[in-house]
Amino acid sequence: MSDAGSDFSGEDGSQEDIMTPAELIAKLEETWLNERFSPELLENKSEMVECVMEQLMHMEENLQRVKKGDVKASIHRMEIDRIRFVLSSYLRSRLQKVEKFFPHVLEKEKSRSEGDPSFLSPEEFAFAKEYMANTETYLKAVALKHMPPNLQQVDMLKAVPEPCLDCFVFLRVKERQENILVEPETDDQREYVVDLDEGSQHLMRYRTIAPLVSSGAVQLI
Amino acid sequence: MFCEKAVELIRELHRMGDGQLPAFSEDSIRQVLEEMKALYEQNQSDVNEAKCEGKSELIPTIKFRHCCLLRNQRCVAAYLYDRLLRIRALRWEYGSVLPANIRFHMCAEELEWFNQYKKSLATFMRSLGGDEGLDITQDMKPPKSLYIEVRCLKDHGEFEIDDGTVILLKKNSQVYLRIKLSYIHLNTHFFFIDDYFYIIVRLIVLYIAQTLLKK
């Protein structure tokens, strides 16, 4: 795929396995699809983002050395463009969710305990805080400060809608799962249990399979 | 009837679909705020009366006015927030510099919000892995092909591409450019040749390349 050919390890070398560039790009695509189809912000993967950016830089450098007009160079350049598109789309998707649900995202970050993984990278967290401050300043300056004293605050957590976790998503099962509890849809039904076989595809409520997405057991499609 | 002006604000935004930004209705907002002030003052005096003279029959009116106040606040906040969302979309569509006719529709605070948003976004993009960061406002569509053919609308003179070659952009000349670079200038200097025409050209080029490689 790329001329780089060298093996890549994640930033956190002790815990991550060494990945080939092909595996890294495959992982990027999976993470991208999950983020695109999930209604809420998924776990932050900054080491993967950094690895991909390093990989892109390597590929660009290699291309500079190839003589111009070589057909292989255009194919590699297209590959670089494609990878950059996937990465940009992934980051854009995350940023849009941060903007859309900013009070809830910040609240979640505030209330998480020390050991839990962060959903926001430090840069996204800074961006979310600035976005919130900016919006609050604007609302205050234009309208709220002219309103009666008891109405000068707007509770952002109530005003901005939460992500809809009950929406339906398509998924493909990567690891066999047993005894997934499915909630009843109507009053006549009762809750029941399904087994998810490897390779099968389903349409389910996101809420039911949310933990499986973060563990990597299912892939949203 | 109370809250009519506030609902009119919402209706005005709802009418303009497609994320267009109408002019900022400063007058309407001012009227809603005045109505809120009047309602609040009436409530203040009624609350005092109810407390001092025990006129509990005023309480439903007080509650009603309070509901109107809350509704006005909610409508105004919704109007302003929806405008912000539209302005945010403008940054992604037009880039950092907004056309003058759009800027004209924004009030001073909205321009300030836009500038702050631009800055936050730029800081974020610069911080993405590596020294220069990654401009995620580019690459909005999946790359279908490496080059696109564009026609220059204005005389731009010489233009240097990132691999060092210099091309001369004269009015009405047609050039192959890498897609990444083209987006920057697309809104001002160029337009796309029809996809159809481009596909024919690309097929011809590929055919020639193949024949040459076979030799």
Single-letter code of the amino acid located at A217: A
Residue B163 to residue A68, Cβ atoms within 8 A: yes
| pLDDT tens by residue, B15-61 | 987 778 899 999 999 999 999 999 999 999 998 888 888 888 888 99
Single-letter code of the amino acid located at A190: R
b (16+ CB within 10 A) / e for B12-21: ebeeeeeeeb
Candidates B82, B15, B206, B167; CA nearest to A139 is B82
Is there a contact between A139 and B81 (Cβ–Cβ < 8 Å)? yes
Residue A95 to residue B73, Cβ atoms within 8 A: no
In chain B, what residues touch A52 (CB-CB under 8 Å)?
A: 129
Neighbours of A78 (CB within 10 A): 14
Which of B73, B81, B141 is closest, CB to CB, to A147? B73
In chain A, what residues touch B129 (CB-CB under 8 Å)?
A: 46, 49-50, 52-54
| pLDDT tens by residue, A85-137 | 999 999 999 999 999 999 999 999 888 877 778 889 889 999 999 999 999 99
Question: Among all chains, which residue has been given the structure tokens 């926001």?
Answer: A120
Shortest Cα distance from B34 to chain A (angstroms)? 9
Is there a contact between A49 and B128 (Cβ–Cβ < 8 Å)? yes
Pairing state between β B190-192 and B147-152: antiparallel
Shortest Cα distance from A101 to chain B (angstroms)? 12
| pLDDT tens by residue, A15-57 | 455 678 889 999 999 999 999 999 999 999 988 998 899 888 8
Under 8 Å CB-to-CB from B8, ≥6 apart: which residues?
B28
Which of A126, A135, A143 is closest, CB to CB, to B33? A143
The residue among A71, A146, A153 with the most chain B CBs within 10 A of its CB, best to mutate, is A146
Under 8 Å CB-to-CB from B25, ≥6 apart: which residues?
B9, B12
Give the Cα separation of B102 and B97 in Å (integer). 10
Shortest Cα distance from B87 to chain A (angstroms)? 12
Neighbours of A56 (CB within 10 A): 21
Which of B33, B130, B213 is closest, CB to CB, to A53? B130
ipTM of the complex: 0.84
